[in-house]
Amino acid sequence: MSALDPAGIERDHCLHHPREAADLAFVFGNRIAVAEMAAAAASLFLEGLVPRLLVSGGATPGGPGTEAEAIGAAIRARGVPREALLLERAATHTGENVTLSLPILAAAGLLDSKRVICVGLFCTGRRYAMTLHRHWPGPEKRCLPVEYGPVRRGSWHLHPEARARVLGEVAKVPAYLAAGFIAEFA
């Protein structure tokens, strides 16, 4: 696939599945799009599509506390009750988002989930789902991409910063597959 094929990149890397019910939304933390992440995740709960949300992300530059706390607070401000939220507050990268969350999911009785919605940045959907699949192969993975700034479906390739971000994510997949950090999923 060429860098000049925005539609192909969106299809293969910027996964966007239809909204449907799942057992859990797994929210991959960041500091780039806290409000947008919270809106997307909260909408799944408030529409009755998921009963629980897990937000994962540790302390990173860009704000006080952890990514999970920042996004979790923004989700709660949108009307999601505390008991619907699980927070993982130590992860420093995508692999840890998953591995450090598995014990939390086990304690909540969610490891037998049949379908999980990955909520994360628009350009990272495939890698999020592949990371989740590598460490938790059981559930079906679906993706809800979060657009932010100029990183938007159909126009990211027109903005140098957004283009670099998306193409950087595309470039990670082969190396991460070869290293065993991620796994293909259907």
* CB distance 56 to 46 below 8 Å: no
How far, in Å, CA of 46 to CA of 172, rounded?
Answer: 34
* CB distance 151 to 120 below 8 Å: no
Determine, yes or no, domain membership for 1.
Answer: no
Determine, yes or no, domain membership for 38.
Answer: yes
In 3-state terms, what secondary structure has residue 146? strand
| Containing structural domain, residue 74 | 6-179
Cα 163 to chain centroid distance, Å, stands at: 19
Determine, yes or no, domain membership for 185.
Answer: no
User: How many Cα atoms sit within 13 Å of 155 on the Cβ side?
Assistant: 6
In 3-state terms, what secondary structure has residue 48? coil
Residue 29: CB atoms within 10 Å: 27
Each of the 186 residues of the chain gets a pLDDT tens digit; together they read: 444 799 999 999 999 999 999 999 999 999 999 999 999 999 999 999 999 999 999 998 888 899 999 999 999 999 999 999 999 999 999 999 999 999 999 999 999 999 999 999 999 999 999 999 999 999 999 999 999 988 899 999 999 999 999 999 999 999 999 999 999 987
- Tell me how many domains the chain contains: 1
Which amino acid, residue 113?
S
Q: What is the pLDDT of residue 3?
A: 45
Cα–Cα distances (Å) from 11 to 54, 123, 151, in that order, read 26, 11, 15
**Which CATH number goes with the domain that contains 142?**
3.40.50.620
Determine, yes or no, domain membership for 119.
Answer: yes
* CB distance 52 to 110 below 8 Å: yes
How far, in Å, CA of 38 to CA of 48, rounded?
Answer: 16
Determine, yes or no, domain membership for 186.
Answer: no
Q: Is the pTM of this model over 0.75?
A: yes
**H-state helical runs in the chain:** 6-12, 34-46, 67-77, 94-99, 102-107, 125-135, 160-179
Angle at 40 between CA 105 and CA 175, to 5 degrees: 65
DSSP 8-state symbol, 123 = G
